[in-house]
């Protein structure tokens, strides 16, 4: 016994000492990184702003150097904020020290960003060109369709001789789980409202319904046409010719792209650097003055003026659930909106929504605060890549809704998804259950003996009727919220709702949004409606400070980091499985994850 206590005490002491060592190392790392990040950056004459697109694009970048630090790899998990890129391009437009922009599109990740975000950057680059400064792009390995669409706006587009360019069209593939669930003895119990609310089809069908295919082809087709028209305009190739080349898969190599006029040259990276020297008037034997977006953000901004007036940009990014962080929306967002409403220095609010929806009741919490905010000051909703279902729910009270042409929105509907596993539990695991209760429905829906969201039995007819009534009431509430916010009748909303997903252009025709435009359009509109002449932007919710970031990294988020490192590209599959577990029950959520290739 004595040796047991001795061993236990030594173990506890070791854990405590280890914790202090980790904390000490963390403080050293924070101090070093923060000191480096605070170092002022001087922009030299004849500099070029280099925009590297080798990071995942998110709506909001962080100036906290620890925000994305991975202690497992001792490096930062790369992402770049749309707000950072837009601000830098605007700043460079009038900066006499910046000669032009170099789009370095080597190593663009597959999940780089959605079409709406890409469109906004592209439009900003087109605006930059009016300054008379150059934009050139280069890719060492090859273009994805989205990356090429973005860089086609450049004055000159160059590829490495061995790089490829594949334009194949937009499409995807969905997986259906009905037969798999049947094999393991599980059945999906689906209760939904709206013939287009196809979020649950993959669990009770083997293929897409006609309604699902119809709405999918409508928004994918609109997005593809937008891409083709943009390339056609910049490269002076007809849409008909582009479609012909694509159907024939005529463009595969860099030489093919040059032959058909999609790029301007086939060169190596050193030759690209020579071109940049000439464009920026730097001698051949001198080093190029390339300035990264991170460094340029720290440089002086002649356009910046301090103002006591603020316009709050409140970021609502991710699925709507019970937790709030930079990639998820929780009940805390309602508190952030309330604080902005009560802050007299905030003259207007821009609610930036990039969400597929999620928990219906949490969406309603947030809706309430947005509605109250509109009674106190102008509220403009700015929709990103996706603002659908619950994402639309929280945006609909806004005074004005702004969305990009490529925004996916709508999906006004509710569904319930529940799994029963009588065969799995009884036949395969050999478990039996026996219910008891003080009232008739005390054991509503059965139990969960496997500690998974799989109940021991199906709903009884009465239980199913009760859940259907809850879903119907939720849908009626959703319709009334939209009708109130959009000044429509419930009947008018129902006509364009029923769970249907819309692209922004069709959504505008149907009265679901007001203006086509991006985040900057929304901010300008907020300024006009607030009546202020000068203002500064404040981004909310407030990001964690370095100490909070390191504590979170060493505790909760460490699990996610480990899984990402170990699973690699399979992490997305794991995440979708977790979504299936988390987002059972009653949801206001888009039918499926939109990932266009």
CA distance 98 to 133: 8
E-strand stretches of 277-391: 290-292, 310-317, 319-320, 328-329, 346-355, 357-359, 379-388
φ, ψ at 79 (rounded to 5°): -155, 160
Q: What share of the chain is helix, strand, coil (3-state, %, to 5)?
A: 45, 20, 35
Give 497: exposed, middle or buried? Use CB within 10 Å, 0-12, 13-18, 19+: buried
Residues 6+ apart with CB under 8 A from 444: 463
CA distance 226 to 218: 12
Whether omega for the bond prior to residue 541 falls within 30 degrees of 0, making it cis, is yes
Q: Of the residues 389, 411, 420, 456, which is catalytic?
A: 389
Helix (H) or strand (E) holding 539: strand 536-540
CA distance 338 to 172: 40
3-state secondary structure of 33: helix
Name the nearest CA neighbour of 44 among 96, 103, 94. Answer: 96
CA distance 352 to 444: 39
Whether 563 and 571 have beta carbons less than 8 Å apart is answered as yes
CA distance 375 to 485: 12
Q: How many residues does the chain have?
A: 597
CA distance 109 to 569: 11
Residues 6+ apart with CB under 8 A from 410: 388, 392, 496, 497, 500, 501, 502, 507, 512
Whether 242 and 167 have beta carbons less than 8 Å apart is answered as yes
Q: Is 46 a catalytic residue?
A: no
The distance between the two most distant Cα atoms of the chain, rounded to a whole number of Å, is 88
Whether 366 and 316 have beta carbons less than 8 Å apart is answered as yes
Q: Is 509 a catalytic residue?
A: no
**Does residue 257 come out as left (phi exceeding 0), alpha (psi in the -120 to 50 range) or beta?**
alpha
For residue 94 the two structure tokens come to: 């009038």
φ, ψ at 76 (rounded to 5°): -85, 135
Distances 216 to 247, 503, 523 between C-alpha atoms, Å: 20, 10, 31
- Residue 313 pairs in a beta bridge with 350, 539
Name the nearest CA neighbour of 391 among 433, 449, 329, 448. Answer: 329
3-state secondary structure of 438: coil
Name the nearest CA neighbour of 589 among 215, 218, 197. Answer: 197
Task: Give the Cβ contact number of residue 309 at 10 Å.
Answer: 16
Q: Of the residues 99, 197, 527, 544, which is catalytic?
A: 197
List residues with catalytic annotation.
Answer: 197, 389
């Amino acid at each position: 016994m004595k040796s047991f206590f001795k061993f236990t005490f030594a173990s506890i002491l070791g854990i405590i000492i280890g914790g202090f060592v980790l904390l000490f190392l963390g403080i050293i790392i924070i101090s070093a990184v923060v000191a480096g990040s605070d170092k002022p950056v001087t922009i030299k004459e004849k500099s070029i702003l280099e925009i590297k697109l080798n990071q995942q694009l998110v709506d909001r970048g962080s100036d906290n150097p620890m925000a994305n630090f991975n202690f497992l790899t001792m490096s930062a998990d790369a992402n770049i904020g749309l707000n950072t890129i837009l601000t830098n391009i605007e700043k460079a437009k009038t900066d006499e020290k910046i000669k032009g922009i170099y789009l370095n599109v080597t190593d663009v990740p597959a999940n780089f960003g959605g079409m709406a975000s890409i469109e906004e950057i592209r439009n900003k680059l087109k605006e930059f060109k009016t300054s008379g400064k150059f934009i050139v792009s280069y890719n060492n390995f090859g273009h994805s369709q989205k990356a090429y669409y973005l860089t086609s706006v450049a004055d000159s587009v160059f590829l490495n001789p061995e790089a490829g360019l594949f334009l194949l069209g937009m499409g995807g593939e969905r997986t259906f789980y009905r037969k798999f669930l049947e094999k393991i003895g599980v059945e999906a119990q689906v209760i939904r409202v709206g013939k287009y609310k196809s979020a649950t089809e993959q669990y009770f069908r083997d293929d897409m319904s006609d309604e699902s295919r119809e709405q999918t082809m409508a928004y994918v087709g609109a997005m593809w046409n937008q891409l083709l028209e943009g390339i056609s305009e910049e490269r002076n190739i007809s849409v008909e010719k582009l479609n012909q080349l694509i159907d024939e898969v005529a463009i595969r190599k860099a030489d093919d792209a040059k032959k058909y006029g999609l790029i301007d040259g086939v060169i190596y990276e050193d030759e690209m650097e020579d071109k940049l020297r000439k464009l920026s008037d730097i001698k051949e034997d001198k080093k190029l003055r390339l300035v990264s977006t991170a460094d340029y953000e720290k440089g002086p901004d002649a356009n910046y003026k301090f103002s006591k007036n603020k316009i709050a940009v409140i970021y609502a990014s991710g699925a709507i659930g019970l937790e709030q962080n930079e990639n998820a929306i929780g009940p805390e967002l309602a508190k952030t909106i309330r604080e902005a409403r009560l802050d007299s220095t905030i003259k207007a609010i821009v609610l930036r929504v990039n969400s597929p929806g999620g928990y219906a009741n949490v969406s309603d919490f947030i809706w309430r605060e947005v509605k109250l905010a509109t009674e106190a000051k102008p509220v403009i909703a700015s929709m990103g890549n996706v603002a659908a279902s619950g994402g639309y729910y929280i945006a609909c009270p806004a005074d004005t809704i702004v969305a990009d042409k490529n925004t996916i929105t709508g999906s006004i509907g509710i569904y319930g998804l529940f799994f029963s596993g009588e065969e799995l539990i009884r036949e395969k695991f050999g478990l039996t259950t026996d219910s008891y209760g003080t009232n008739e429905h005390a054991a509503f829906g059965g139990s969960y003996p496997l500690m998974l969201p799989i109940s021991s039995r199906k709903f009884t007819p009465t239980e199913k009727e009760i859940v259907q009534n809850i879903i119907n009431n939720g849908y009626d509430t959703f319709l009334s919220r939209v009708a109130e916010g959009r000044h429509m009748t419930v009947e008018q909303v129902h006509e364009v709702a029923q769970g249907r997903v819309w692209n922004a252009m069709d959504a505008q025709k149907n009265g679901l949004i007001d203006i086509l435009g991006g985040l900057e359009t929304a901010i300008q509109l907020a300024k006009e409606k607030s009546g202020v002449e000068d203002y500064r932007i404040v981004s909310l919710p407030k990001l964690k400070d370095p100490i909070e970031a390191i504590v979170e990294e060493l505790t909760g988020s460490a699990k996610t980091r480990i899984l990402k490192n170990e699973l690699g590209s399979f992490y997305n599959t794991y995440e979708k499985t977790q979504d299936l577990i988390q987002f059972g029950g009653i949801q206001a959520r888009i039918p499926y994850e939109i990932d266009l290739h």
